[in-house]
């Protein structure tokens, strides 16, 4: 059972990383605001589709920050977290490698617009807070219809990428940033610390906050 769940996380993460990174590498990727909208929509749709496809198998984390957030709120066993995170990183790395094989490296990397570390950290923390808060709300409450989580989470990804794209890229996902950075040169790797630290922090804060204000289903 665990093997199937890990494979699900690998496939799901591969997909949600491949989609925006491949988009950035093709001639279909427009410049400026149109490119930002395209990246946001493609990212959200990829997440939405994979939640529908793989949610029943792995619970559709596809993101180390989400796995850590769930574990911190006791909604996922810590003992299973390393396997999930390794699968997510492997899926992201293979997705980026596949795009690099087709189009060369350097596509879809996350590099902050400026070196304002505080602004960059806060942006990723806040965006990941939004994402994880919505995930906690729609994925852990049995009163929510099963069709809702994929749509709600996918739309959250869209608006977060639109907000954070011009600042940090709107990552919210360490695997999403790490995969392309491995093929993106020194500039991408020099900023990877931001995406390894800030999203998990935002996810933990969101998960614990939601648990603190949760109203029991029987109330």
Domain ranges of the chain: 2-213
List alpha helices for 59-168, DSSP H. Answer: 64-72, 81-103, 117-139, 148-164
Q: Count CB-CB contacts under 10 A for residue 146.
A: 11
Q: What is the mean pLDDT of residues 95-118?
A: 95
* Helix-strand-coil split of the chain, %, nearest 5: 75, 0, 25
User: Scanning the structure block, which residue is given the tokens 């020099």?
Assistant: 190
The predicted structure's pLDDT at residue 100: 96
The model carries a pTM of 0.94
Residue whose C-alpha is closest to residue 43's, from 195, 160, 181, 136: 160
Specify the fold of 2-213: Glycerol uptake facilitator protein (1.20.1080)
Q: Find out whether 193 and 120 touch, Cβ atoms under 8 Å.
A: no
Query: What is the tens place of the pLDDT at every residue in 70-103?
Result: 999 999 999 999 999 999 999 999 999 999 999 9
What pLDDT is attached to residue 18? 98
pLDDT digits 0-9 by tens, 15-53: 999 999 999 998 656 667 788 999 999 999 999 999 999
How many C-beta atoms surround the C-beta of residue 33 within 10 A? 11
Over the stretch 177-200, which tens digit does the pLDDT of each residue have?
Answer: 999 999 998 999 999 999 999 999
pLDDT tier at 216, thresholds 50, 70, 90: confident
Q: Is residue 193 within 8 Å of residue 116, measured between CB atoms? A: no
CA–CA gap between residue 141 and residue 215 (Å, rounded): 10
pLDDT at 141 over 80: yes
In order of 137, 148, 208, the CA distances from 193 in angstroms are: 28, 33, 23
Task: Name the burial class of residue 1, with classes exposed (0-12), middle (13-18) and buried (19+) by CB atoms within 10 angstroms of its CB.
Answer: exposed
Q: How far apart are CA 212 and CA 215, in angstroms?
A: 9
Contact 14, 95 (CB under 8 A): yes
């Amino acid at each position: 059972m665990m093997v199937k769940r890990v494979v699900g996380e690998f496939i799901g993460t591969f997909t949600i990383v491949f989609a925006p990174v491949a988009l950035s590498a093709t001639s279909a990727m427009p410049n400026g605001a149109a490119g930002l909208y395209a990246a946001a929509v493609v990212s959200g749709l990829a997440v939405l589709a994979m939640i529908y496809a793989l949610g029943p198998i792995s619970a559709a984390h596809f993101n180390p920050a989400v796995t850590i957030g769930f574990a911190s709120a006791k909604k996922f066993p810590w003992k299973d977290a390393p396997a999930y995170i390794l699968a997510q990183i492997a899926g992201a790395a293979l997705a980026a490698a596949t795009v690099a094989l087709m189009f060369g490296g350097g596509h879809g990397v996350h590099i902050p617009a400026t070196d304002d570390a505080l602004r960059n950290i806060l942006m990723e923390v806040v965006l990941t807070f939004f994402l994880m808060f919505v995930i906690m709300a729609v994925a852990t409450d049995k009163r929510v219809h099963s069709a809702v989580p994929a749509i709600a989470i996918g739309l959250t990804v869209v608006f977060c990428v639109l907000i954070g794209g011009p600042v940090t890229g709107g990552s919210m996902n360490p695997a999403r940033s790490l995969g392309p950075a491995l093929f993106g040169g020194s500039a991408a790797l020099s900023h990877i610390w931001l995406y390894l630290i800030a999203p998990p922090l935002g996810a933990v804060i969101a998960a614990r906050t939601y648990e603190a204000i949760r109203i029991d289903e029987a109330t």
